[in-house]
Structure 1
Amino acid sequence: MMIRFDTTAGAIAIATGLMASSAFAQTAPTRPSDPQVAAQQPDPETSDDEAIVVTGTNIAGTAPVGTQAVTLKRDTILNTGNTSLADVLRDLPQVTNLGIYREGATQGGYNATQANGINLRGLGIGGTLTLVDGHRLPSTGTVSTITEANQIPIAMIERVEVILDGSSAVYGSDAVGGVVNYVTRKNLRGVEAAGRLTLVDGYKEYGGSVTAGQTWNDLGGLGAGNIIVSYDYTWRDPMFASSRARLSQNLTQFGGIDNRITGGARNGGVGLQSGSFATPGAPGNIIVPSGGTYIYYGIPQGNGTGLTFANLSTTPNLLDTADYTTYMGSMRRHQAVVLINQELSPSIEFYFEGLYTNRHTRSEQFQSNGPDVCVAATSPYYIAGIPGTAGQTCSTGPSPTDTRVPGITMQYNFQNAIGSWGTDNPDENYTLISGIRAKLPGGWRAEASFTYGADNTCGICRYDNNSSFGAFQHQVNLGNINPFSTAPLTAAQRESFVGTVLQFSHNRFKDVVVKMNGSLFDLPGGAVKAAFGGEYTHTSYDLESGGNISPGEQGDYATPSRDNEFVWSNFASGRRSVVAAFAELYVPLISEQNAMPLIRSLVFNGAVRYDHYSDFGSTTNPKLGMTWEIFDGFTARGSWGTSFRAPALTDNDPYVGSFKFLTSFPTNVTGVNCFSPAPGLCLSNTLILFGAQPGLKPEKSKSWSLGFDFAPRFLPGLKVSTTYYNIRYSNRLQAPPWQEAFGSNASFALYSQYAKAINNTGCVQGNPSTYDPALLPYLSAVGLYTLYMPVAGRECQVQAVADGRTTNIGTTNQEGLDFATNYGFDSSIGTWNVGGSLTIVLKENAQYVAGAPVVDRLDTLGYPVSVRGRGSIGWTDGSLGANLYVNHVGPYKNTTPLNNTVSTHVAPWTTVDAGISYSFGENSWAGLKGTRISLNAQNLFNRDPPLVLTNGYASYDPQQANILGRIVTIQLAKSF
C-alpha cells in the first residue's frame, strides 16, 4: 500500500491522525510513550524535582516558561530503529538537511571532515546549539567548524530535549534556531549488551555496544554513588554512487542530460553550449574548438605513438564517475562514555563525564581530469592533420593563462593512470566534564563545573594519490609521459606528479561555569525563584596544511612543491576568550492556591545574559516568557527574546583558506571597464577574493512565539499543542552575491560595497602610488591560493574587483506554525498511542543588502519547504509491540531547472517507516529473560525521492530527501 499526500491539507490530516508513538525499552511498559512530549514539567521518574534542571532554564524544579519544547524519550528513540542520534533528530519536522552536514563524501558543502550537524528551522548548522547534559562541547572541522551531532551512542541516552526557540539568554552563542540537549542515563545496575545490523541496497552497517553500571550506598564513608561505562562500535561499508541509477552522470533515462559530456560534441557533432567538459575514458579525447563550441575525438587504445587523424574516433571516450565515486565512504567509529557520581557529604556531590569518539571515514572520488593537457606541436606525440587545429594554441602550464604555444588540447584520464582519489578523514574527539553540586541553606543549590574538550581531524588526507596537474603537464612538456598511451605508468612517472596532501586541524575548548539557584520569597502563587552565575570559555584552533609534489609543478595552487619531500606549507591559528554573566527569575503569580476565573495559573520568567568576546566585543541578550493556564487543561504560552551566533574562529581567519586571483570570467553587461573579445560580449579583468576575513561581527536574531496546549481531564491521554513562531535573523555570515553586481547598472550601484570598478589610467606596473586607490585594500588582503591568474605583477590590468569573502550581510525572516497531537489509550486488544507532528512554514524571505528586493525563498530549491510532518501509531500488548510512522515533505519549486527554463514543480514525498519488537520478560526462559529483539524498516515501500533535474549532476534534492531507499535494521539487546 502506498499513501500519497499532495496538499497541505493531506499533510495536516496525516500528522493530526498519526504520530508519536509507542514504545518500550528492555521490558514493555504498560503504555507506549509519547515520542514528542512537551517538556513543561520535570521528569516524573526522578524523585527530587527540586534538583532537576531541564533544558532551557537554569532554575531547578521548573520547566521553560512560554517556550516550545520537545522531549524524545529513550523508548521512543529505540523504537525508531535509527542507529545514531543524528538520524533520530532528522525525523523531527523542525529539522532539515539544508547544508547537508552528514557523513558522505559527495553529499555536499564544505563538510570535508564528514561530520554530522543538526539544523533546526533550516536557519543553518551554526544556529543550533548542541549540548550534553547542559554542557557545551568542542567543535570539529577544518575550514569550517560545527558541533558533531553524534557525540554519544544511543546506548547512553536517557532522553533528548529540544528547545525550539532562541535561547542565548540562557546559553549564549549559537542558540538561534534552538537547542538540542542529550541527557545521559544516570542510573544503571547490571550489564546491557546489544548488536545491530543495517541492510541497504549498496552497503551494510553493523555495530554493537556494551553498557555496564554499578551503584553503592557507601564508598569509604563518602556516601552513595554510581558509575556507568559504555562502549559502542560501528562499521559501515562504502556505498558507491553507481548503486543508484539516479546518481549516475548520464541522466537521460530520467529526462535529464548526459553529464558525461557538456558543451561539446557527441559522435563528432557540435555541442550546444560554449564551454568544454567531458569525463574522459581511457586514454582520453582530443578537443577542437568549433565556432564557440567543441568537437571531441576519441583516442584509441594502445601505446599512443605514431597516431594520425585517421586513428581517432568521432565517438569520444567517456566514462561515468559514479563507478569510481563513493556516495558514502566507509566509516569506522569507536565511542566510549564514562559517568561517575559520588556523594562527598550529605550536601555535596561530585560528578564526572568522559566522552570519547574516534571516527574514520574513507571516501573514493573520480580522479578529476583537471585542466586540459597541452601537447605542443614540437612534442614527439603531436598528432598532425586534425581538422580545425591549424593555428590552435594551448597552455603549457596548469592555468589557461600560462604560456601558450602551437599545439593540440586533450582531456587525459587520470583515473586510468593512477586510480581514484582516496580521501581519509580521521577524527578524534573527547570531552571531559567534572563538577560539584552543593545544597546550600535556604534550599539553594550551587554548581561549579569545568569542561575540557579537544577535536583533532583531517579534512583533506590524500596519501600518495593526489595529482598535481601542473607537474603532469611539465612531464608532458619534457616528453617524459605520453598522454595518448594506455600503458601503465612506471613508478618514476607516477612519482613525478603524484604526492600527498594533508590538512589537519586541532580544536581545543575549556569552559568554567559557576551558578546558583533557589527560592527568594513566597507569593500567593508560589515561590519566586532565581538563578545567576558566570561562565568563562577559552577556545582555540590550529590548522596545518602541506604536501609533497616533485619539482616542475609550475605553480599549481593545490599543493606545495619541495623536491618530493613533505612540507607543511600553511599554518593558521586562533584564540578566543569569552566572559559571561547571566541571571534568571521565575515568578508564579497565580496557582491553584489563588486561582480565579480564567486564570488557574500564571507564571512569568525573565532571563538575561551578557557575553564579552575578546575579539569582537560584547552582546547582551534578554528573554521573557509567560505560561497562562486559562482553564483546566488549556494553557497559553508566549516568549520573546534575542539571540546571537558568534563567528567561528575560522570565519575570521583568511589563513585557514582564502583565494585571490585575476580572471576575465565575469560577463559585465554594465559596460563599465570592460573589453570585448567578440561582438556583444563584454568582459572585465576582475580581481576576485574568496574566503574568510577578519573583523566579523556576530549574527543576531529576534524571535517571539505564541502557543496553546490542550490536555483535557475529561479525556486522559490526549494532548494537542499549537505554536506560532517568528524569527528575524540579521547580520548573517555569508558570501555576498557579487555576481549580481555585473548584471545591470542598478545592481552595480546596489552592490557597490562588494563589486567596484577600478580606474587604472596612468598605472605604472610596480609603482603602487599610480594604482587606483580603491584597489589597494584588496591587493593587501590575504589570498593563500590562486585559481586562475595571480594578480602580483598584473596589478595594472585590473579593471574591477569582486569581493566574495564571508561578511555580515543580509537578513532572513521566517515565521511558521508547529502542530503536535498525541492520544494514548487502553483497549481490549492492547495499548495504543497515536499522534502527529507538523511544521508549516508561512514565510521565508531574505534581503541581502539594504535597498535590495526582498526575495521570497519559501518552497524553492535549497530553502525551507512549507510543509513537513511525521505521524505514527504505536501498539503494545504484553511483550509484543509495533509502530508505524509516516513522513511527509510537501511540494516546492525547482527554481534552477534543466536548460534554465521556467520553474518546475517538485512533487511531495511521503514515506512509511515500520517496526516490530518483542521483549522477553521475567517469566521467560532464563537464557532469554531480559532480551529484546526488534526489526525496523525506514522507507518501507522503497519509494524514490521526487525527480529534481537541474543543469548539475543530481536528479534529486538531497536537502529534502534521501536516495538510500529501504533501510532495514535488526537489533538484539540483552540485560544481565
Structure 2
Amino acid sequence: MIALDRSKISFVALCASAVSALTIPSIAQAQDAASTPAEPATQAGAPIAETIVVTGTRIKGIAPTGSPVIGLGRADIEATGASTTTEILSQLPQVFNLGASEANYGAANNQSANVTLGTGINLRGLGTESTLTLLDGRRLPSSGTQAQFFDPSVIPSMAVERIEVLADGGSGIYGSDAVGGVVNIMLRKLDGAEFEGRYGFAGDMDEYKFGGAIGKNWGSGSLTVSGEYIKRSNLKAADRSFYTDDLRPYGGTDQRSTFSNPGNILVNGTSYAIPTGQNGTGLTPGDFQAGTVNRESRYLGTDALPEQERYSFAAVAEQDVNSWLSLNAQGFIAHRRGTFANAAPTATLNVTSANPFFVDPSNSGADSVQVQYSFLDDLGNSVRRSTQDVIFITGGPHAELGGGWSADAFFSYGEDRERSGALQVNNSALAAALADTNPDTAFNPFGDGSNTNPGTLQTLIGEFRVDTNYRMQEYGVAADGPLFTIPGGDVKVALGASRQEITFINLTPLPANGHRAINSMSGELFVPIVGADNAGPFMEELNVSAAVRYDDYSDIGSTTNPKLGVTWKPTSSLSIRGSYGKSFRAPTLSDTGSPFNTLADFTDVGGGTTRVLFLRGGKAGLQPEKATTWSVGMDYKPVFANGLSLSATYYNVDYTNRLATPGNDYLALTKEDILGSLITRNPTAAEVNAIQDAPGFVGVPEDPANIGAIVDGRKSNVGIVQTDGIEVIADYTWDSDWATFKVGANGAYILHFKQAITPDAPLIDIVNTINNPLQFQARAYAGIRKGGFSGTAYVNYTDGYDNNSVTPMQKVDSYTTVDLSLRYLVDGDSIFTRGLTFTLDVTDAFDANPPYVSNGTIAFDSNVVNPTGRKIAIGVRKSF
C-alpha cells in the first residue's frame, strides 16, 4: 500500500473544494475530446470530418492496443488559457519541467544547450531527448545546440485541432527517441474562418497574441491556412524578490559573487577588497585591509524570462484525384526571436607592475596581483540575442486499394536554423590593455565603477556565437489492411519502409559537420480474438497487437525493437490493458561532436564557491541507449453513471546505457558522493594547461593554482535509470436542469526513480530531490457551462521535496496554484456578434509565493515555479 503524506491529503481536500468552481472540458481527459460535452461552437463553419489518426498504431481505424493515450481536442485547447502549444502540453502532470526550458537557463539537466530559449516536452521525467514529437505521425526537425528536443510552440496553437500523448514506450512503432512517450500534434481542417486577439500582463511584463485560421472545403478537397503572432516582453530578475543570491534574508548564506566591481585583489591566497568611492588612481597598500571581500549579485540587470517574439504559419491541404487516389500535404514555418540578459562577464585578471594603476596591497613587493573582477560597469550585461527559423513540410499520395486496404507514400523535409550571440570579453585585447603602460589607454581594474578609456573598452567587446543548422529528410511507403477474418473480427496488418537522412552543422564556436542515414522497416499485427460475434460472459472483447521495427544507422549500427499490447474488456464498462516493449535512443550527431571547455564558479560543500574548469560539448565513443518498458492499466466508464470516466496506469521503465550530463550542474561539487568519477579535485598544472591550451577552450586562461577542480559535464553513458509510477485520470460530466457541470483530476505519482552513474554503481532513488522528478504532480478542475457562459477553475499541485544539495538537507514545501478560465459566447444574429467569444484567463490567480529553496545562487527552484506569478489575459475570438 502507498502511504500518502499530509501534503497529498491537503491536495485532495483542495481538489474537493474546487467542485464549487467553474469548468469546461479539461486537458486531463483520457478519452477522445469529441465524445464529451464541448464548449459552445464558435465558428460559422465547422471542422471538416475525417478519420482521426490515433497515436500508438499504424493501422487505421483501430485504437492502440494496451497503451494509454491522452487526447486533447480543440475545446480542451481553447479552454486552457495557454498562449502556445508548448504551454498547453506543459499543464499535463505527465510532463516535467526539467531540461530545455526558457525559464531554466542553467546547467542542470542540460538546459544550457538551449541558447535559443525554447522549451521541450519531457514525459515522465526521462528527458526532452527521450520524448518524441510528431506532426500527424511524421518526425520533426530537432532544436537546441545538441539537437536534443523539439519545441511545439513553433506550431501556432490556432492551427492545432488535436494533440495526443502516448505516455508509453513507442520505439516499436516510431523508432528512436520514443522512450518516455510520444506527442502527436494534428492540424485543423476548417470550412470557415476564425480569428483571435489576446493581451496578457503579469506585473512588469506583458504579452500580445494575434492569430487566425481560414479554411475551405470544396467537396473533393480542402485547404486550411493558420497563422499566429506572439510577442512577450522580458521579465527582469529585479522584479521578483526570490531572484537573489543573497540568501541571508531567508536564513541562508550570502552567495553573491566575489567577482565584483569594485573587485578583490588576491595575493598569495589572501583577499583585499578594493575600496569604494575612488577611481583606481594613486592607491597605496595602506588603503587596503587583508581578509576583506567585495561582493556583487550575479542578477544585477539580468532577466528571469527572456523577451520572445514568434511568427508562425501552418497549412494543410487535401485533394482527391479520383475515387481511389488522393494527395495531401501539410507543414509549417516559424521564426522566433529571443533576447535574454545574462550576468555580466567576469574574470580573474592577472595584472603586472607594468600596469600604470598597479598596486600591491600586501606591500610584499609582488610583481603581479590577481583581481577578481566584474565587467558590469564597463561592458554591461552579457545579452544573448538569438533567432530560430524552422520549416517543415510533408505530404504524398494516399490510395484506397480495395478490400479494406490502403497505401501511402510520403516525403518530409525539415530544417531548424539557430543563431545566437552573446557578449564576451576579447581575451587578447584585454591582455594588451592590462599590459599597456599608458594611463590614458590602459585598462584600470582598481577603481569603483568604470574608470577605463571608452576607446579601450570598445576593443574588449567580443561575441560568443553558437550557430547550428539541422536538416532532415525522410521518405517512405506504408500499407495496411485486413489479412483474413476470424470469429473476433478482421486480423489487420500494417507494413512500412522508410529512409531518413540527417545533417547537423555546427557553424560556431567549433565548426563541425555530421551526417547520418537511417533505413527502417516496420510491421504491426492486430488480432481481435474476441469481438461482438463471439463475446461471452466477462469476455466482451479481447484484442492483441504485436509490432516490430528495424532501424539501421549508418554510424552506430542497427537495432530491432518489438512492442506487444493486449486489451481485455470483461464488460462494456471496463477495459483492462497491458503493454510491453523495447525502446531505443541513438546519440545525436552533436553528442559525439566537438567539445568546448570553460571556467566557472561552482557552489561547493559548505555553501562557498570553487573555481572549476568545466568540460562541456561532445564526447567520442558514446553508445546508444536502450530501455524496456511495460505498463498495465484500466479504463472505466460505468453505464450507471453516464459522463463518468476513470483511468489508471502503472508503468515501469528500465533504462540502460542512458546518455545524460550528470556533471553539467553548477551544484556538482555538492554531489561528489554521486558524481565523484566526473570530478577531479586539485588538478595539476599540467592537467589544467592541457585543457586551456587545447582547441575548444572558451574564456580567459587562468593560473592553474586558481582551479580547484575539473568537472566533466559532457554527455556520458551514465548507466541505469529504473522508474515506475502510477497515473490516474478522472473526469465526470453531468447535466442538470440549470447547467452542465464537470469535475476531474489528472495525477502522476512516481514510486521510484533510481539512477546509477555507472553500471557498477549502486542504484540511488533520486525522486523528490532537487533537479530531479517530483514524486507527485496533479491538476484538478471543476466548474460549469450555462448557455453561452463557461468557466474553469484549475488547481495545480507540485509535491514538496528534499533539497539534498545543501547540508543539512532542506525540506522544500509543496506548491499549489489556481488558474481561472472564463468564456462568454455572444453568438447573436448579426455578422458582428455571431461566433463572437470573449475570454478571461488568470494564471496563478492568488499569486502564490514560491517556497524558499537554497538553490545554489538563487532562492527558488525554476524547475518547479514559473517566475511569472499572477498573469491576467483578456481576449476575443471571432468565427465566421
- What is the TM-score of this pair, normalised by structure 2? 0.89
Change (3 A) 1:417 1:8: same
Give the superposition deviation at 1:380: 2.4
Q: Greater shift after overlay, 413-422 or 112-121?
A: 413-422
Q: Counterparts of 1:475-874 in structure 2 under 5 Å?
A: 475-479=433-437, 480-481=441-442, 482-484=444-446, 486=449, 489-545=452-508, 570-654=510-594, 657-659=595-597, 690-735=616-661, 784-785=696-697, 805-874=714-783
Shift of 1:91: 0.8
Q: Give, in whole Å, the separation in 2 of the partners of 1:226 and 1:841.
A: 45
Paired with 2:664 and 2:88, the residues of 1 have a C-alpha distance of 38
SS of corresponding position for 1:307: coil
Deviations 1:606-663 (A, max 9, x none): 1100000000000000000011011230111100001111111100112xx33499x9
> In structure 1, what is the equivalent of residue 808 of structure 2?
902
Alignment partner of 1:631: what SS?
coil
1:110 maps to which residue?
A: 113
| Helix, strand or coil at the partner of 1:651 | coil
Report the Cα distance in structure 1 between the residues aligned to 2:487 and 2:20, rounded to whole angstroms.
Answer: 37
| 1:200 pairs with one of 185, 199, 202 | 202
- Structure 1 residues 606, 364: closer, same or farther in 2, change over 3 A? same
Identity level (%):
31
Deviations 1:869-892 (A, max 9, x none): 111013111100111111111111
Contact 1:506 1:542 in 2 (8 A): yes
Aligned partner (choices 300, 309, 315) of residue 338 of structure 1: 315
Which whole-Å deviations, capped at 9, do the CAs of 1:98-154 have from their partners, x for residues lacking one?
Answer: 124236656953211211100000101101000111111111222453212213111
> SS of the counterpart of 1:89?
helix
2:335 & 2:22 partners in 1: Cα distance? 33
Matches of 1:494 and 1:788 in 2, distance apart?
16
CA contact (8 A) 2:205 2:232 kept: yes
Deviation at 1:83, TM superposition (A): 0.4
Partners of 2:728 and 2:305 in 1: how far apart? 34
CA distance in 1, matches of 2:20, 2:179: 26
Return the offset for 1:320.
3.4
Matched, 1:365 2:365: no
Distance, in Å, in 1 between the alignment partners of 2:399 and 2:584 is: 31
**Helix, strand or coil at the partner of 2:639:** coil
Secondary structure class of the residue paired with 1:353: strand
Q: Secondary structure of 2:728's partner?
A: strand
Residues 16-64 of structure 1 deviation map (CA, whole Å, 9 limit, x = unaligned):
88699987xxxxxxxx435333358998999988x54311100000011
Equivalence for 1:323:
300
SS, match of residue 113 in structure 2: coil
Asked if 1:931 corresponds to 2:836, the answer is yes
Deviation at 1:781, TM superposition (A): 13
Cα 1:145/1:725, change in 2 over 3 Å: closer
What is the one-letter code of the residue matched to 1:814? T
Q: Write the distance in 2 (CA, Å) between the matches of 1:622 and 1:197.
A: 48
| SS, match of residue 475 in structure 1 | helix
Alignment of 1:391 with 2:364, yes or no, is yes
Preserved contact between residue 15 and residue 838 of structure 1 (Cα < 8 Å): no
Greater Cα shift, 607-616 or 824-833: 824-833
Partners of 1:802 and 1:250 in 2: how far apart?
A: 25
Aligned twin of 1:250:
246
CA contact (8 A) 2:33 2:72 kept: no
Aligned to 2:352: 376
Q: 1:392 to 1:356 in 2, by over 3 A?
A: farther
The 1:19–1:504 alpha-carbon spacing in structure 2 relative to 1, beyond 3 Å, is farther
Look up the match of 2:153. Answer: 150
Which of 789, 798, 805 lines up with 1:889 in the alignment?
Answer: 798
- What CA distance in whole angstroms lies between the structure 2 residues aligned with 1:211 and 1:202? 31
Report the counterpart of residue 458 of structure 1 in structure 2: 419
Residues 32 and 71 of structure 2 are in contact (CA less than 8 Å); yes or no, is this contact kept in structure 1?
Answer: no
Q: Partner of 1:966 in structure 2?
A: 870
CA contact (8 A) 1:821 1:836 kept: yes
Taking the TM superposition and a 5 Å limit, the aligned residue runs for 1:440-459 are: 440-459=401-420
Quote the Cα distance in structure 2 between the aligned partners of 1:151 and 1:408. 50
In structure 1, distance between residues paired with 2:383 and 2:147: 21
Opposite residue 164 of structure 1, the aligned amino acid is A
**Runs (5+) with no aligned partner, structure 1:** 24-31, 218-223, 262-276, 394-405, 547-569, 668-682, 766-774
| Contact 1:832 1:875 (8 Å CA) reproduced | yes
Aligned partner (choices 912, 917, 920) of residue 826 of structure 2: 920
Distance 1:733 1:154 in 2: 32
CA 1:891 to 1:687, structure 2 compared with 1: closer, same or farther past 3 Å? closer
Report if the CA contact (8 A) 1:896-1:903 is conserved.
yes
CA shift at 1:450, angstroms?
A: 0.5
Q: 1:352 aligns with which of 304, 329, 336?
A: 329
Contact persistence 1:392–1:408 (CA under 8 A) = no
Q: CA deviation at 1:418?
A: 2.1
1:266-311 per-position Cα deviation (integer Å, ceiling 9, x unaligned): xxxxxxxxxxx2432xxx2342558x66342324334x32233566
Indicate if the aligned counterparts of 1:639 and 1:704 stay in contact, CA closer than 8 A: yes
Q: Which amino acid aligns with 1:351?
A: N
| C-alpha separation in 1, matches of 2:386 and 2:57 | 37
Using the alignment, how far apart are the partners of 1:19 and 1:785 within structure 2?
58
Counterpart amino acid of residue 425 in structure 2? S
Decide whether the 8 Å contact of 1:286 with 1:299 is kept in 2: no
User: Which of the two has higher C-alpha Rg?
Assistant: 1
Pick from 939, 948, 964 the counterpart of residue 853 of structure 2.
948
Aligned residue in 1 for 2:59: 59
Structure 2: tracts of 5 or more residues without a match = 37-45, 605-609
Counterpart of 1:279 in structure 2 is 260
Residues 141-189 of structure 1, C-alpha deviations (whole Å, 9 max, x = no match) = 2245321221311111111100000000100011000000111112x12
Say whether the 8 Å CA contact 1:846–1:854 is kept in structure 2.
yes
3-state DSSP class of the match of 1:440?
A: strand
After superposition, the Cα gap between the structure-2 partners of 1:858 and 1:91, relative to the gap in structure 1 and judged at 3 Å, is same
Q: What are the Cα deviations for residues 743-786 of structure 1, in whole angstroms up to 9, with x where unaligned?
A: 9xx999x98899899999xxxx9xxxxxxxxx9xx999985226
Q: 1:588 to 1:945 in 2, by over 3 A?
A: same
Instruction: Say which SS state the counterpart of residue 323 (structure 1) adopts.
Output: coil
Taking a change above 3 Å as real, the CA distance of residues 666 and 410 of structure 1, as seen in their structure-2 partners, is closer
Q: Post-superposition shift, 1:410?
A: 3.0
Is 1:190 matched with 2:95? Answer: no
Q: CA–CA distance in 1 between the matches of 2:176 and 2:692?
A: 32
SS of the equivalent of 2:496 reads: strand
Question: CA–CA distance in 1 between the matches of 2:58 and 2:35?
Answer: 15
C-alpha displacement of 1:964: 1.6
Q: 1:736 to 1:490 in 2, by over 3 A?
A: closer
Q: 1:106·1:327 contact (CA, 8 Å) conserved in 2?
A: no
Are the aligned partners of 1:920 and 1:932 in contact in 2 as well (CA < 8 Å)? yes
Instruction: Give the secondary-structure state (helix, strand or coil) at the position aligned to 2:849.
Output: coil
Structure 2 vs 1, CA of residues 409 and 213 (structure 1 numbering), >3 Å: closer, same or farther?
same
Contact residue 21 and residue 834 of structure 1 kept, 8 A: no
- The structural deviation recorded for 1:15 is 5.6
Tell me by how many angstroms 1:82 deviates.
0.5
